[in-house]
Amino acid sequence: MTQPKIALVTGGASGIGAAAVRRLAAAGYRVAINYVGDDGPARALAGQIRDEGGECITLAGDVSDPAQVAALFDTTIAKFGRVDALVHSAGVDTAWPVPIAKIEDADVERIVRVNVLGTMWCCREAARRMGTSGDGAGGCIVLVSSMAATIGGRVGKTVYGASKGAVDGLAKGLARELAPEKIRINAVRPGATETPMLGAFAHDEVYARRIAGSIPMGRVAQPEEVAEAICWLASDAASFVSGALLDVSGGGFSIAS
């Protein structure tokens, strides 16, 4: 009998991460749901997964802290025996566009620590635990990047765009580095997606129309649409796919938006 695969999903309590948790659980994965802050959404999601017959755990942890990242992997392996897939969805941004001349030091540091360093820490620990030169049997990593990486982001979102450019670089470089370890790594690049991170979208109708109008398909994505791409990249159906940057963007977006 085939053993269920094990997935660790960072930022798994809301938005794209939560949609990925639900999709992976539906595909038969046992899932470790990482969250930071309030544990309510993670517990509610875990309850839903269990009610539907899935198996999961919830793990508090800040991905910008390398010690906490290591603990996420240690706890997942202690519970499930291994990690087959890392879906790294944790990420932050400012709620509203902020010109570079006005952005606060704390916001820049937070974006870089979570989006860039956090991605590096998570990839490092995945390589250590999954790599065949150690005790691992290989596996896959799916990073959640952004279409912002393609042109540096929308106006007022350039720090975020730069951070996601680093994520793309990691996916491309680590695909070569980790192939001998039997680890695949890819990134999905969502466009504007209806999640809490979109912030102002939910509170400003004019801004919402402008964002939707900048996308060729005329609307923002739903998290579940991005989760489908994530689940495919994590699956054996993508067994020869590594180093790919998969756009889930409705055709891209206008630089003028």
**Looking at the predicted structure, is the pLDDT value of residue 1 above 70?**
no
Domains held by the chain: number: 1
Rounded to whole angstroms, how far apart are CA atoms 15 and 18? 5
Is 1 within a domain? no
Would you name the residues annotated as active-site residues?
160
Per-residue model confidence (pLDDT) at position 254: 67
- Going by the DSSP 8-state scheme, the letter that residue 36 receives in this structure is -
Tell me if 62 sits within 8 A of 38, measured CB to CB: no
pTM to 2 decimals?
A: 0.94
Is 102 within a domain? yes
Is 237 within a domain? yes
**Looking at the predicted structure, is the pLDDT value of residue 199 above 80?**
no
Is 256 within a domain? no
Domain that holds residue 115: 6-247
Q: How many CB atoms lie within 10 A of CB 99?
A: 9
Rounded to whole angstroms, how far apart are CA atoms 88 and 79? 19
For residues 223-236, average pLDDT: 97
Coil, strand or helix at 180: helix
**Looking at the predicted structure, is the pLDDT value of residue 213 above 90?**
no
Coil, strand or helix at 89: coil
Is 10 within a domain? yes
Per the prediction, the chain carries an average pLDDT of 93
Please report, for the domain that includes residue 229, its CATH number: 3.40.50.720
Is 21 within a domain? yes
Is 20 within a domain? yes
Per-residue model confidence (pLDDT) at position 201: 56
Is 252 within a domain? no
203 burial (CB, 10 Å; 0-12 / 13-18 / 19+) is: exposed
Task: Give per-residue pLDDT as tens, 16-72.
Answer: 999 999 999 999 999 999 999 999 999 999 999 999 999 999 999 999 999 999 999
